[in-house]
């Protein structure tokens, strides 16, 4: 027997402790237990120790903190390889003659899940999550995951998990056979009991199993569906091909195919771009001046204006558990707003996003009113009324008198100057912008606008709120359109220059859609409607620099009543929602060019893409110079999460830098 008190150190991040004749190996590499070189080396030594020490009959591997193992250390990608590699460690675990038990205490992702799959038994904490997020990094699992997972859970479940990158909870993992048990009491005690029951018996190696049968037609259907959603990305298709091959290839063949694919994709441009996005998201949470600022606690939140945007914001708040008071100008509007919110909640219930209990809890947290004074108990109020300075100013002045002096006032304006709005209140220090994107209950991006006089605590509170809603908050300074719409304006301007120079809307859209944008610019203009930009152009006309290049084709379209999809015609014609090229638009473009004496030339799609990305990046540079955006990667995140820029291109700043 091993001395019960023996503690062993295998590396700075891996320690061992004898619990009777079971060696408990604890991985402790904060913050998430990434499988760094040091962790791999420590685990390797621990396995060697277990093999050579006759007093050890079984091994339990577990993690310290919230993670079991969060996967390979992403920071090591692109650097020279350090032995032992993760696949080698995983092989060593499975090859052990003494049973190895994975006691999954928290998240087991990617390489973490692969370590668990190589163990001879898996038991998890009820709150654990297991998954293969590799495709989100543009790669495939590279330490046997594509071959071991299907051998445990069948090709269908494996294709779905590996192809989408979505993790499963412990209950689901147990249901599909990914883990053998969920701890009923203390995880470690249950894992030790499991170890005792397995010791001395031949070990069960996942690689030697035969994958449970999956219906091949269903597997192929699932692959087709996920491939369609992942348009343009290489990794999901490759990952699913590998997982599906487990039913036909030997383990060794599958593994070598996986390794070759992993290495090829790891060094691809898509993987580099997605790694950039991964770290960009973590960096965005580090905001200058807010490092040690405690956000205010929020319970009750008010939303003024319950139109499409306000109702979306309200639903997001209710989903996150807040008590909500929705305000509208009169009772019928308040009732209509309430119905709109309940309708979204009802759809969430129907689609299975929430259950009946959630629905009832959220509905019970909702109150609507046409009396502004009823917003008095709110800790924060978000206005989402019509984007008009007079309306918003009047509302803010009234709210300023109604709510507590320490409560926060947030505006959802897209274009107006929130500093000017704040200046109209008695407490400008508590005014911030929270710019949601429509539909606000779905879209992940929120621009948190740092108004000139806002206290760090007000900004931190808005930031923390957006995070609590599961959104991606990006801090922006004040300028017209903040980060997103400033870049989008530059994109629009360049798209119109291209039009005048010789490209047609459908050519520009096709080039950008092939590049990976969710929609080309002209299709987006039609979807959003052309009249708001038209009104702005008319407003700006008197002050416009007469020397600056100005394309008037959009004005001609608007004058002809072509206001976008809503009016059935814009840059395209729409019949039954289908976008169709309209010769009348081609004619109007030709006339405008002729009026300016421009001889159109053929423009290749590479030039279209280059100019449009270049225009976005140039505007981004201006925003950085003016300190509106804190870092280039914040701009990338805004365009990816709010404007359909493909994540696998890394965002306009990243793309332009390459
Ligand atoms: N490698 C290196 N660093 C990592 C990491 C990883 N796998 N996962 C997270 N980190 C870092 C983050 O960059 C961040 O660092 P910072 O504090 O310096 O900014 C820190 O850990 C905390 O991360 P989060 O802010 O994301 O912490 P959360 O608690 O919100 O989330 C998590 C934790 C769910 C584990 C989340 O970090 C996550 O999803 N991580 C990525 C998991 C992943 O993609 N794993 C697969 C890797 S690829 C692989 O395993 C290949 C294999 O098949 C061979």
What are the tens digits of pLDDT across the range 504-556? Answer: 999 999 999 999 999 999 999 999 899 988 988 898 899 999 999 999 999 99
Ligand 1 contact, 145 CB (< 6 A): yes
Q: Kindly give the distance from the C-alpha atom of residue 32 to the centroid of ligand 1, in angstroms, as a whole number.
A: 6
pLDDT in tens, 159-170: 999 999 999 999
The band of 3, judged by pLDDT with boundaries at 50, 70 and 90, is very low
Q: Kindly give the distance from the C-alpha atom of residue 284 to the centroid of ligand 1, in angstroms, as a whole number.
A: 15
pLDDT at 1 over 50: no
Q: Kindly give the distance from the C-alpha atom of residue 462 to the centroid of ligand 1, in angstroms, as a whole number.
A: 25
Ligand 1 contact, 305 CB (< 6 A): no
pLDDT at 9 over 50: yes
List C-alpha distances in Å: 585 to 26, 404, 499: 67, 54, 11
573 Cα distance to chain centroid: 33
CB atoms within 10 A of CB 275: 19
pLDDT in tens, 466-501: 999 999 999 999 998 999 999 999 999 999 999 999
Please give the average per-residue pLDDT across 211-215, as a whole number.
91
State which H helix or E strand residue 401 sits in.
helix 389-402
Q: Ligand 1, closest atom to CA 111?
A: 50
pLDDT of residue 2: 44
pLDDT at 331 over 90: yes
Q: What's the rounded Cα separation, in Å, for the pair 407 and 462?
A: 11
Backbone φ and ψ of 277, nearest 5°: -65, -40
Residue 547 annotated in active site: no
Label residue 638 exposed, middle or buried (CB < 10 Å: 0-12, 13-18, 19+). buried
pLDDT at 630 over 80: yes
Ligand 1 contact, 143 CB (< 6 A): yes
Q: What's the rounded Cα separation, in Å, for the pair 606 and 604?
A: 5
**Which protein residue's CA is at the shortest distance from atom 36 of ligand 1?**
70
The candidate with the shortest Cα–Cα distance to 488, out of 445, 444, 531, 533, is 533
Q: Kindly give the distance from the C-alpha atom of residue 67 to the centroid of ligand 1, in angstroms, as a whole number.
A: 10
- Cα dihedral 229/234/236/242 (nearest 10): 140
Q: Kindly give the distance from the C-alpha atom of residue 492 to the centroid of ligand 1, in angstroms, as a whole number.
A: 36
> Would 7-266 and 484-657 be classified into the same CATH topology?
no
**Which protein residue's CA is at the shortest distance from atom 44 of ligand 1?**
133
Question: Which DSSP state fits 77?
Answer: T
Ligand 1 contact, 292 CB (< 6 A): no
Q: What's the rounded Cα separation, in Å, for the pair 250 and 429?
A: 66
pLDDT of residue 321: 96
Q: What percent of the chain has pLDDT over 90?
A: 94
SS3 549: coil
**Which protein residue's CA is at the shortest distance from atom 26 of ligand 1?**
282
SS3 101: strand
Q: Ligand 1, closest atom to CA 86?
A: 54
Ligand 1 contact, 72 CB (< 6 A): yes
pLDDT in tens, 382-433: 999 988 899 999 999 999 999 998 999 999 998 889 999 999 999 999 999 9
Q: Of 19, 134, 238, 496, which is the active-site residue? A: 134
Q: Kindly give the distance from the C-alpha atom of residue 620 to the centroid of ligand 1, in angstroms, as a whole number.
A: 27
Ligand 1 contact, 73 CB (< 6 A): yes
CA-based torsion, 579, 581, 587, 591: positive or negative:
positive
pTM attached to this predicted model: 0.94
Ligand 1 contact, 32 CB (< 6 A): yes
**Ligand 1 pocket check: which of 70, 129, 277 to mutate, most ligand atoms within 8 Å of Cβ?**
70
Query: How confident is the prediction for the chain on average, in pLDDT?
Result: 96
Ligand 1 contact, 286 CB (< 6 A): no
Q: Ligand 1, closest atom to CA 136?
A: 44
The candidate with the shortest Cα–Cα distance to 137, out of 67, 38, 71, 62, is 71
Beta bridge partners of 7: 17
Q: Ligand 1, closest atom to CA 279?
A: 13
Contacts (Cβ under 8 Å, ≥6 apart) of 502 = 593, 600, 601, 602, 603
Question: What fold does the segment set 300-478 form as a domain?
Answer: Rossmann fold (3.40.50)
Ligand 1 contact, 190 CB (< 6 A): no
Q: What's the rounded Cα separation, in Å, for the pair 376 and 385?
A: 18
Ligand 1 contact, 134 CB (< 6 A): yes
Label residue 33 exposed, middle or buried (CB < 10 Å: 0-12, 13-18, 19+). buried
Task: Determine contact, residues 408/461, Cβ cutoff 8 Å.
Answer: yes
Ligand 1 contact, 433 CB (< 6 A): no
Q: Kindly give the distance from the C-alpha atom of residue 342 to the centroid of ligand 1, in angstroms, as a whole number.
A: 36
Task: Determine contact, residues 220/228, Cβ cutoff 8 Å.
Answer: no
Which CATH number is associated with domain 7-266? 3.90.226.10
Ligand 1 contact, 163 CB (< 6 A): no
Ligand 1 contact, 109 CB (< 6 A): yes
Residue 134 annotated in active site: yes
pLDDT at 37 over 90: yes
Q: Kindly give the distance from the C-alpha atom of residue 613 to the centroid of ligand 1, in angstroms, as a whole number.
A: 29
Q: Kindly give the distance from the C-alpha atom of residue 90 to the centroid of ligand 1, in angstroms, as a whole number.
A: 19
Q: Kindly give the distance from the C-alpha atom of residue 519 to the centroid of ligand 1, in angstroms, as a whole number.
A: 30
**Which protein residue's CA is at the shortest distance from atom 1 of ligand 1?**
73
The answer to ipTM > 0.90 is: yes
**Which protein residue's CA is at the shortest distance from atom 27 of ligand 1?**
32
Q: What is the CATH class of 484-657?
A: mainly alpha
Q: What's the rounded Cα separation, in Å, for the pair 317 and 469?
A: 7
Backbone φ and ψ of 8, nearest 5°: -125, 145
Please give the average per-residue pLDDT across 609-632, as a whole number.
98
Q: Ligand 1, closest atom to CA 143?
A: 54
**Which protein residue's CA is at the shortest distance from atom 31 of ligand 1?**
32
Ligand 1 contact, 133 CB (< 6 A): yes
Q: Kindly give the distance from the C-alpha atom of residue 14 to the centroid of ligand 1, in angstroms, as a whole number.
A: 18
Write b or e for each residue in 129-168: b if 16 or more Cβ atoms lie within 10 A of its Cβ, otherwise e.
bbbbbbbbbbbbbbbbbbbbbbbbbbbbbbbbbbbbbebb
Q: Of 19, 76, 97, 114, which is the active-site residue? A: 114
pLDDT of residue 292: 92
Ligand 1 contact, 652 CB (< 6 A): no
Write b or e for each residue in 397-406: b if 16 or more Cβ atoms lie within 10 A of its Cβ, otherwise e.
eebbebbeee
pLDDT in tens, 62-89: 999 999 999 999 999 989 999 999 999 9
Q: Ligand 1, closest atom to CA 278?
A: 13
How many residues comprise the chain? 658
Ligand 1 contact, 110 CB (< 6 A): yes
Question: Which DSSP state fits 572?
Answer: S
Task: Determine contact, residues 190/183, Cβ cutoff 8 Å.
Answer: yes
The band of 5, judged by pLDDT with boundaries at 50, 70 and 90, is low
**Which protein residue's CA is at the shortest distance from atom 17 of ligand 1?**
282
CB atoms within 10 A of CB 53: 17
**Ligand 1 pocket check: which of 74, 113, 149 to mutate, most ligand atoms within 8 Å of Cβ?**
74
pLDDT at 317 over 90: yes
Please give the average per-residue pLDDT across 95-100, as a whole number.
97
Enumerate the domain spans of the chain.
Answer: 7-266, 300-478, 484-657
Ligand 1 contact, 107 CB (< 6 A): yes
């Amino acid at each position: 027997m091993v001395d019960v008190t023996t503690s062993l150190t295998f590396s700075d991040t891996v320690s061992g402790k004898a619990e009777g004749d079971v060696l408990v190996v604890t991985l402790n590499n904060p913050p998430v237990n990434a499988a760094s070189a040091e962790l791999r080396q420590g685990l390797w030594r621990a396995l060697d120790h277990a093999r050579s020490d006759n007093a050890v009959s079984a091994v339990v591997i577990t993690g310290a903190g919230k993670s079991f193992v969060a996967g390979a250390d992403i920071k090591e990608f692109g650097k020279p390889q350090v032995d032992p590699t993760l696949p080698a460690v995983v092989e060593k675990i499975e090859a052990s003659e003494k049973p190895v038990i994975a006691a999954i205490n928290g998240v087991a992702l990617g390489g973490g899940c692969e370590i668990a799959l190589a163990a001879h038994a898996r038991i998890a904490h009820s709150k654990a999550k297991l998954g293969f997020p590799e495709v989100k990094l543009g790669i495939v699992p590279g330490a046997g995951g594509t071959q071991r997972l299907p051998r445990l859970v069948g090709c269908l479940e494996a294709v779905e998990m590996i192809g989408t990158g979505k993790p499963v909870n412990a209950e689901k993992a147990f249901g599909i056979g990914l883990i053998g048990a969920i701890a009923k009491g203390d995880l470690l005690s249950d894992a030790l009991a499991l170890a005792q029951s397995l010791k001395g018996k031949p070990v069960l190696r996942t690689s030697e199993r035969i994958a449970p049968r999956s219906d091949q037609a269903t597997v192929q259907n699932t692959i087709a569906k996920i491939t369609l959603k992942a348009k343009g990305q290489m990794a999901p298709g490759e990952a699913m091909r590998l997982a599906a091959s487990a039913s036909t290839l030997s383990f060794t063949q599958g593994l070598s195919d996986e390794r070759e694919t992993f290495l090829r994709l790891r060094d691809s441009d898509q993987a580099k771009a997605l790694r950039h996005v991964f770290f960009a998201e973590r960096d965005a949470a580090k905001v200058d001046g807010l490092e040690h600022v405690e956000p205010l606690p929020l319970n009750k939140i008010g939303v003024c204006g319950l139109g499409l945007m306000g109702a979306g914001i309200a639903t997001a708040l209710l989903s996150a558990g807040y008590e909500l008071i929705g305000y509208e100008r009169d009772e019928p509007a308040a009732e209509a707003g309430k119905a709109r919110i309940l309708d979204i909640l009802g759809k969430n219930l129907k689609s299975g996003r929430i259950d009946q209990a959630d629905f009832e809890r959220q509905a019970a947290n909702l109150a609507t009113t046409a009396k502004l004074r009823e917003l008095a108990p709110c800790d924060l109020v978000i206005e989402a009324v019509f984007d008009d300075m007079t309306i918003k100013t009047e509302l803010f002045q009234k709210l300023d008198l109604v709510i507590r002096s320490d409560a926060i006032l947030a505006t959802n304006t897209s274009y107006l100057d929130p500093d000017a709005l704040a200046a109209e209140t008695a407490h400008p220090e508590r005014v911030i912008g929270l710019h949601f994107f429509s539909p606000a209950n779905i879209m992940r991006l929120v621009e948190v606008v740092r108004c000139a006089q806002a206290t760090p605590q007000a900004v931190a509170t808005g930031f923390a709120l957006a995070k609590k809603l599961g959104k991606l908050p990006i801090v922006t300074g004040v300028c017209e359109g903040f980060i997103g719409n400033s870049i989008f304006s530059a994109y629009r301007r360049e798209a119109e220059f291209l039009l005048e120079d010789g490209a047609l809307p459908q050519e520009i859209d096709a080039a950008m859609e092939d590049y990976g944008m969710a929609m080309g610019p002209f299709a987006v203009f039609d979807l959003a409607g052309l009249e708001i930009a038209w009104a702005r152009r008319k407003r700006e006309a008197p002050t416009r620099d007469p020397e600056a290049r100005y394309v008037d084709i959009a004005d001609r379209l608007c004058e002809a009543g072509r206001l976008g999809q809503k009016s059935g015609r814009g840059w395209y014609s729409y019949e039954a929602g289908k976008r169709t090229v309209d010769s009348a638009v081609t004619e109007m473009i030709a006339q405008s060019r002729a009026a300016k004496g421009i001889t159109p030339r053929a423009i290749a799609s590479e030039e279209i893409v280059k100019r449009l990305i270049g225009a976005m990046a140039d505007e981004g540079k201006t925003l950085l110079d003016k300190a509106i955006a804190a870092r280039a990667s914040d701009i990338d995140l805004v365009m990816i999460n709010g404007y359909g820029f493909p994540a696998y291109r890394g965002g306009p700043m990243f793309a332009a830098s390459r």
